[in-house]
Structure 1
Amino acid sequence: MSISRSIFREYDIRGVTEKDLTPEVAYFIGRAYAAFLAESNVTGSIAVGRDNRPSGTALHEALLRGLTESGIDVIDIGVVPTPLAYWAQHNLDVAGGIQITGSHNPPEYNGFKLGVGKNSIYGKQIQHMYDLISAGVFPQGNGTVQKQEVIERYIDDVVARVGPISGSLKVVVDCGNGAGALVAPQLMKRLGVDATCLFCESDGTFPNHHPDPTVPENLKDIIAAVAREKADIGIALDGDADRIGVIDNEGEIIWGDHILILYARDVLERTGKGQSIIFDVKCSQALPEEITKAGGKPVMWKTGHSLIEEKMHETHAPIAGEMSGHMFFGEGYYGFDDALYGAARLLRIVANGGKSVHEMLADVPRFVSTPEIRV
């Protein structure tokens, strides 16, 4: 069949549904993924999840058909934020995982994030998936599908690691109607914080605003709610809850590099100085300066979750982050980017800090930078 090579990106497979990304394409992605596993001598079940975009239903059905016709047994974890698919790779008895997600892209987009073992497929491996589809030689078999609930287990894990949060913290959470809405309200309740939830109804058409917390226009509602509720902090999630946005108690946007400063200070204070903290090139000069002040070693690295995770493993870094709001937690967690766990951890920092978020960052210089231009 004819498939556009352009949908095979550096870190995922992504395109416009019913144009570049059809159920037929999803079926062959399942077949190619099975062929990739066979080439790699990897055996075992595969966890499959999807975010809440309406197009995900048909793509999910077709993907499962492609996998099972190739002899792959599937553990279907249902509609979940992307970090829960990563979590499943670490906690279920699986050989890999696939998440169907459009991430921060407009509603007409969708895509596939692929993993083998506990790692992501990226770069040449993604391109090889296209070659496998073109070759058309796939394993044959009769795989099974088993549904498994993971949301409660995930929340139990996060609360055991982070909570409960001390004090009477007031927080506003904006899920933007994304997949994070399926987890965040329960998580906030279990953590014991006083949470006001905005757009916490799961609706993958995103009727209120687009769930991308890097765009100031999308943060107007949460800024107003933080002021109205006199909240200590606001947390905004992107569409699949792997990126975090933060509003301080004064209603100011805290961008990714300043969020990472809060995490870095905390982890260096708790677990020891001299550790590497990784960040991408888009972050301002304030970040490496503050990491150094806190006793850490600033390490600038390439943007991209797979590259960041590899560098964390290489340097034994406890934490890493990108200007875009992807925050990666090695210390006390699994090393992947997770805005839900990140929110819990940030709430703990604020609750234990003795200062407001605004006061915590008052001494950090604000550099002017050009906004990111996406092509």
Structure 2
Amino acid sequence: MSNAGHAFDPTVLREYDVRGVVGRTLGEADARALGRAFGTILRRKGGTRIAVGYDGRLTSPVLEAALVEGLIACGLSVLRIGRGPTPMLSWSTHALVDGSGVMVTGSHNPPDHNGFKMTLAGKPFFGADIQALRRLAASGDFVDGKGAVETVDPREDYAARLAGDVPTDTFATLAWDPGHGATAEILNLVLQKATGHHHVINGIIDGHFPAHHP
């Protein structure tokens, strides 16, 4: 892979994440470069493993694939946890790797937006860290290596962890609205393990978000 530098659209470099409008200010090349830059930062801190997840947006699988390509090119072992909510990625970084991860997510923004949230060695990656990533990407000073990929499905284990937090009063009736987002599948797994009465609306992942704003 070429070590040519990459310039991000300045509008995507936010305080707490990298986020933009897919096809306009954010695309596969950005995802790949972010993987190269963040992977280089992790390698230079002695890290070797990272977890990656993505949300239910229509553009997330393509961005995730490009991100993983960039991370592998740095020599990292990448654990792909698949589609799910951001907290599942956070849980996976601690339970399955060494505290580092990247989540492809547009958070609460409109369907055509997407982005990346990063955690480095158990700590949030934001502010000056994101600006350092920008400079590194522009320089092209990336670590090279031959990484590897492993795919796991942590949903059952993660849902089991969450099920213990659901109220156990068998007379309680709770209504849930995951809003067609990435939480929907996990919520359904959690409620299968929970007691009480539960009513779910908008419980199927749909990247168009037909019910309401994400």
TM class by shorter chain equals: over 0.9
1:199 counterpart (196, 199, 202): 202
Question: Which deviations, in whole Å up to 9, do the C-alpha atoms of 1:297-339 show, x marking residues without a partner?
Answer: xxxxxxxxxxxxxxxxxxxxxxxxxxxxxxxxxxxxxxxxxxx
Q: Which has the higher contact order (CA 8 A, sep 6+)?
A: 2
Task: Report what 1:135 is aligned to.
Answer: 139
Which residue is 2:24 aligned to?
A: 19
Secondary structure in 1 matching 2:35: helix
How much has 1:163 moved relative to structure 2? 5.1
Cα RMSD over matched residues? 1.3
Q: 1:10 aligns with which of 15, 19, 22?
A: 15
Contact 1:43–1:95 under 8 Å retained in 2 = no
User: Hey, what's the Cα distance between the residues in 2 that align with 1:200 and 1:47?
Assistant: 26
Structure 2: any 5+ residue segments left out of the alignment? 1-5
**Residue number among 103, 113, 125 corresponding to 1:99 in the alignment:** 103
For the Cα contact (< 8 Å) 2:170–2:197, is it kept in 1? Answer: no
CA distance, structure 2, for counterparts of residue 98 and residue 61 of structure 1: 12
Cα deviation for residue 83 of structure 1 reads 0.5
Q: Does 1:35 align with 2:40?
A: yes
Query: 1: distance between equivalents of 2:108 and 2:98?
Result: 27
Letter in 2 for 1:206: F
Q: In structure 2, how many angstroms separate the alpha carbons of the residues matched to 1:95 and 1:185?
A: 27
Q: Distance in 2 between matches of 1:73 and 1:33?
A: 13
Q: Which amino acid aligns with 1:14?
A: R
- Percent identity between the aligned chains? 33
Task: Give 3-state SS (helix, strand or coil) of 2:115's partner.
Answer: strand
**1:5 and 1:130 in contact (8 A); partners too:** no
- The residue number in structure 2 matching 1:146 is 150
Q: Deviations over 1:35-75 (max 9, x none)?
A: 21133x23121000000101011101100100001111100
- Higher-Rg structure is 1
Q: Which amino acid in 2 is paired with 1:152? A: E
Question: Which amino acid counterpart does residue 116 of structure 1 have in structure 2?
Answer: L
Taking the TM superposition and a 5 Å limit, the aligned residue runs for 1:161-176 are 162=165, 165-176=168-179
Corresponding residue of 2:64: 60
Distance 1:23 1:108 in 2: 14
Find the residue that maps to 1:115 and give its secondary structure: strand
User: What residue in structure 1 maps to residue 92 of structure 2?
Assistant: 88
How much does 1:156 deviate?
1.4
CA distance in 1, matches of 2:189, 2:195: 10
Normalising by structure 2, we get a TM-score of 0.93
Larger relative helix fraction: 1
* Residue type of the alignment partner of 1:192: T
Question: What count of residue pairs does the alignment treat as equivalent?
Answer: 209
Q: Show structure 1 runs of 5+ residues with no match.
A: 212-375
Query: In the alignment, what sits opposite 1:186?
Result: 189
For the residues of structure 2 that align with 1:102 and 1:23, how far apart are their CA atoms? 15
Q: Which runs of 4+ in 1 moved over 2 A?
A: none
2:186 and 2:42 map into 1 onto residues whose CA distance is 31
Q: What amino acid is the match of 1:17?
A: V
